[in-house]
Chain A
């Protein structure tokens, strides 16, 4: 396999890397990336996806569809190339191999080829279709996680992403009726979601904003108020009730309470007491906790114990006021509810990083996440550029697999992408295409026969 030889040669060139013992060094460099784009990146699958069945032979296929999709590349030297378009999978493949972008972003499908937008200045060049997308970033949760902050993630805080996937995925399917949803690890500290149903791709900006607002429970632009979450009204909307009872409450009580040690210090529990608008309740709790007596259950987790005390006091008979009962829910929502980057979802022309890119800071591949098993996803265990190269170099496995990809741990991710997302998507796109084509045919026949009748 000649490509494999090239890879080996590349290793030889970098002398400092040779010093590392028997393994490919960690990290991200353009040599590795070249190999990745040369042997592993799933061009065919990406093309199939973005074609939405328009790459077939059926007369209803729109052959220009893929070519009107905007791609943009970020190059090694921070050069940013926008409005790149490709008419075939080989054009896409050749361009990526040649430019070797550190990041590939995907934009909307325009009414005309956006690369030639200047020639359409008269009639205009505007986005016509775009997946409904969501971007959730762990750095937005910095006020409710104590294990790490900013760009770092670990297994202690990753459950926040699991919660987000569960809440949003369920609502997209059960409430909005979408079926073709792809969740992707962003390569570092968050997740992306692509909703690809035809209905979703054709949503107006107004409707995208409405859907984003449906998911919003956080107040905006009020830094002075302690309450981040405001659950107004005497009851919760069914969507929020379901999210609370099926996801948020359990994760908060069973996982985050102790993993994030939410009540462990005065500084931490004061943040929660701030959310209770009743002086007598907060001073009673503070009194109990300041003593720090660990009387009866020394074994019991202090966070769980304090949470139980708080709940007991707020939900006991004497605190019947609605406002205080709602407090328990507000605290749970504040510490668990998904925090979306609204602007990304609201506008058709927002770009989003393509799946299967490699994150330049972590070297991790942006692999799909199975929403049905998102609890099992471990961001620290996803394939990285260096492990993949290592696996490619591993002669032992060479004979057992048909292609390079299946020799590596990326194979599994690509197979999941194909079987769980791509195949059902393409199937339903074809069905939709054929049925709308037939309906049109029917109508024009009807019109013809009417015309004939009229002529008689």
Chain B
């Protein structure tokens, strides 16, 4: 982006490089760019989301977002940077307009990104962005500023901000424009007006950005369901649908070479290395000899990723299901979908195991056992399940507090750490990652104990 600026003639510096995405671009976009740009932006948003859920501090977040943007959103041709920015944003609007949950996530992440980028604009550019939003507030004039100076100083001291100088720029806006500043008592308000410092303008603009985007997403959703889905069913629709569930790390559809499991060891492995969501499905299947569709998909694809071969998978499911529905009905009604999962039927797509994001956003109904226990279990059931996994009471409290704050993946990460007695820096993003990380730890433990024994033998 700096490159773009340097090429512009002097005097153009006031022009912000931050678009407000007010209307869709009139650009021709190649289909592969459509998808690639979107994936790049998604990496940025996902990175922000991970950073926030990990409770990173303000400065850490600033650095993280700067890095994410640099790595993912630079176009080989610098002049195309802005187009990539706009195109990717609008593609993701399509992707994330479709459910309340997706909208909420997208809205938060885009707003966080916008704040970051706005703060890094120069004051002149910030002012021109304000004007673009129609926020034509006048600066508070000197005599009025003088009359409230002691209050403004008090507020600045109470929030540990730098004290305002006599020539400081303040804007006077209706308090309703800056809810977060009001709620945290970071502004002086009088007769319904908030006095905001130049450094707080970001809050005002972000509020507008957010509400504008929120409305736009609702409209896009309406357009999507009424026309686009049908019109684009052979072109954009499949791309868009795949994007919202696409997980950006490795997809775990191919088991790692060491991870090949046999039916004999599956019970032990389930106890030691399955994340709670899979352990629960596994136990329910052993108990009830049946799982509904959602559960079969979630567990079945996971097991495929873990390294259960198709033949073993068929044997595994058949052994359980036939006790309930009989072998014949299993062959007729259920075997197909297992082969389907392995890409041996129908479209012959090799299906990808579900990521945490997908599992968390699923909506299990009556009799379903799939979903994310941290999100879908009652507090009581979750506590019981955690103790069964051997999580001690201290760790249990930490896990539950993450759950209450809706950080389900962090809760799972803490569980992993408690069960394995090691830290898990990367965090848990995928059930199959939980499994392979767990196996790695188990193997190295076994390995070291084996070594120890050997050493003893040698020394004796």
Residue ranges of A at the interface with B (Cβ–Cβ < 8 Å): 174-178, 199, 203, 206-207, 209-214, 233-241
**Chain A residues with CB below 8 A from B184, complex form:** 213
The residue on A at minimum CB distance from B193 is A177
User: Is A211's CB under 8 angstroms from B182's CB?
Assistant: yes
The docked-state distance in angstroms from the alpha carbon of A363 to that of B58 is: 55
The docked-state distance in angstroms from the alpha carbon of A357 to that of B185 is: 36
**Chain B residues with CB below 8 A from A213, complex form:** 182-184
Chain A: interface secondary structure? helix
Residue ranges of B at the interface with A (Cβ–Cβ < 8 Å): 151, 154-155, 157-160, 175-176, 179-180, 182-185, 188-193
User: Is B160's CB under 8 angstroms from A177's CB?
Assistant: no
The docked-state distance in angstroms from the alpha carbon of A422 to that of B188 is: 31
**Chain B residues with CB below 8 A from A178, complex form:** 192
The docked-state distance in angstroms from the alpha carbon of A455 to that of B190 is: 48
User: Is B154's CB under 8 angstroms from A241's CB?
Assistant: yes
The docked-state distance in angstroms from the alpha carbon of A213 to that of B412 is: 31
The residue on B at minimum CB distance from A177 is B192
**Chain A residues with CB below 8 A from B180, complex form:** 210
**Chain B residues with CB below 8 A from A241, complex form:** 154
User: Is B182's CB under 8 angstroms from A238's CB?
Assistant: no
**Chain A residues with CB below 8 A from B191, complex form:** 174-175, 177
20 sampled A-B residue pairs with Cβ under 8 A? A174-B190, A174-B191, A175-B190, A175-B192, A176-B175, A176-B189, A199-B176, A203-B176, A207-B179, A210-B179, A210-B182, A211-B182, A213-B183, A213-B184, A214-B183, A214-B185, A233-B160, A236-B154, A237-B154, A239-B185
The docked-state distance in angstroms from the alpha carbon of A209 to that of B180 is: 9
Contact flag A233-B159 (CB < 8 Å), given A174-B191, A207-B176, A238-B188: yes
Contact flag A233-B157 (CB < 8 Å), given A210-B183, A213-B183, A239-B185: yes
**Chain B residues with CB below 8 A from A238, complex form:** 151, 154-155, 188
Q: Name the residue among B175, B180, B184 with the largest chain A CB count within 10 angstroms.
A: B175
The residue on B at minimum CB distance from A203 is B176
**Chain B residues with CB below 8 A from A203, complex form:** 176
The docked-state distance in angstroms from the alpha carbon of A353 to that of B278 is: 49
Measured between C-beta atoms, what is the minimum distance from B378 to chain A in Å? 19
The docked-state distance in angstroms from the alpha carbon of A235 to that of B184 is: 14
**Chain A residues with CB below 8 A from B159, complex form:** 233
The docked-state distance in angstroms from the alpha carbon of A297 to that of B189 is: 46
17 A-B pairs besides A175-B191, A177-B193 with CB distance below 8 A are A175-B190, A175-B192, A176-B175, A177-B190, A203-B176, A210-B179, A210-B182, A210-B183, A211-B182, A213-B183, A214-B182, A233-B160, A234-B157, A234-B160, A235-B157, A236-B154, A237-B154
The docked-state distance in angstroms from the alpha carbon of A199 to that of B190 is: 15
**Chain B residues with CB below 8 A from A207, complex form:** 176, 179, 182
User: Is B182's CB under 8 angstroms from A237's CB?
Assistant: no
**Chain B residues with CB below 8 A from A174, complex form:** 190-191
**Chain B residues with CB below 8 A from A239, complex form:** 185, 189
**Chain A residues with CB below 8 A from B182, complex form:** 207, 210-211, 213-214
User: Is A209's CB under 8 angstroms from B183's CB?
Assistant: yes
User: Is A237's CB under 8 angstroms from B190's CB?
Assistant: no
**Chain B residues with CB below 8 A from A214, complex form:** 182-183, 185
User: Is A199's CB under 8 angstroms from B154's CB?
Assistant: no
The docked-state distance in angstroms from the alpha carbon of A199 to that of B182 is: 16
The docked-state distance in angstroms from the alpha carbon of A112 to that of B189 is: 35
The docked-state distance in angstroms from the alpha carbon of A174 to that of B175 is: 13
The docked-state distance in angstroms from the alpha carbon of A206 to that of B211 is: 11
The docked-state distance in angstroms from the alpha carbon of A234 to that of B161 is: 11
**Chain B residues with CB below 8 A from A237, complex form:** 154-155, 158, 185
The residue on A at minimum CB distance from B182 is A210
**Chain A residues with CB below 8 A from B158, complex form:** 233-237
The docked-state distance in angstroms from the alpha carbon of A209 to that of B184 is: 11
The docked-state distance in angstroms from the alpha carbon of A177 to that of B158 is: 23
**Chain A residues with CB below 8 A from B160, complex form:** 233-234
The docked-state distance in angstroms from the alpha carbon of A211 to that of B154 is: 20
Measured between C-beta atoms, what is the minimum distance from A294 to chain B in Å? 41
**Chain B residues with CB below 8 A from A210, complex form:** 179-180, 182-183
User: Is A235's CB under 8 angstroms from B154's CB?
Assistant: yes
The docked-state distance in angstroms from the alpha carbon of A241 to that of B158 is: 11
The residue on B at minimum CB distance from A211 is B182
User: Is B189's CB under 8 angstroms from A175's CB?
Assistant: yes
The docked-state distance in angstroms from the alpha carbon of A175 to that of B185 is: 12
Measured between C-beta atoms, what is the minimum distance from B314 to chain A in Å? 45
**Chain B residues with CB below 8 A from A199, complex form:** 176, 192
The docked-state distance in angstroms from the alpha carbon of A241 to that of B150 is: 12
The docked-state distance in angstroms from the alpha carbon of A102 to that of B157 is: 51
**Chain B residues with CB below 8 A from A233, complex form:** 157-160
Q: Which 7 A-B pairs have the closest CB atoms?
A: A177-B192, A213-B183, A210-B183, A210-B179, A235-B157, A177-B191, A237-B185
The residue on A at minimum CB distance from B159 is A233
The docked-state distance in angstroms from the alpha carbon of A444 to that of B180 is: 36
User: Is B154's CB under 8 angstroms from A206's CB?
Assistant: no
The residue on B at minimum CB distance from A213 is B183
**Chain B residues with CB below 8 A from A175, complex form:** 189-192
**Chain B residues with CB below 8 A from A177, complex form:** 190-193
Measured between C-beta atoms, what is the minimum distance from A218 to chain B in Å? 14
The docked-state distance in angstroms from the alpha carbon of A199 to that of B192 is: 10
The docked-state distance in angstroms from the alpha carbon of A174 to that of B185 is: 15
The docked-state distance in angstroms from the alpha carbon of A177 to that of B190 is: 7
The residue on A at minimum CB distance from B210 is A206
Measured between C-beta atoms, what is the minimum distance from B208 to chain A in Å? 13
The residue on A at minimum CB distance from B151 is A238
The docked-state distance in angstroms from the alpha carbon of A262 to that of B193 is: 39
The residue on A at minimum CB distance from B179 is A210
Measured between C-beta atoms, what is the minimum distance from B159 to chain A in Å? 6
The docked-state distance in angstroms from the alpha carbon of A177 to that of B173 is: 13
The docked-state distance in angstroms from the alpha carbon of A370 to that of B127 is: 46
The docked-state distance in angstroms from the alpha carbon of A210 to that of B193 is: 14
Q: Name the residue among B159, B183, B188 with the largest chain A CB count within 10 angstroms.
A: B183
The docked-state distance in angstroms from the alpha carbon of A212 to that of B182 is: 9
The docked-state distance in angstroms from the alpha carbon of A206 to that of B192 is: 16
The docked-state distance in angstroms from the alpha carbon of A233 to that of B157 is: 7
User: Is A206's CB under 8 angstroms from B189's CB?
Assistant: no
**Chain B residues with CB below 8 A from A209, complex form:** 179, 183
**Chain A residues with CB below 8 A from B175, complex form:** 176
The residue on B at minimum CB distance from A233 is B158
The docked-state distance in angstroms from the alpha carbon of A419 to that of B131 is: 45
Contact flag A206-B155 (CB < 8 Å), given A174-B190, A176-B189: no
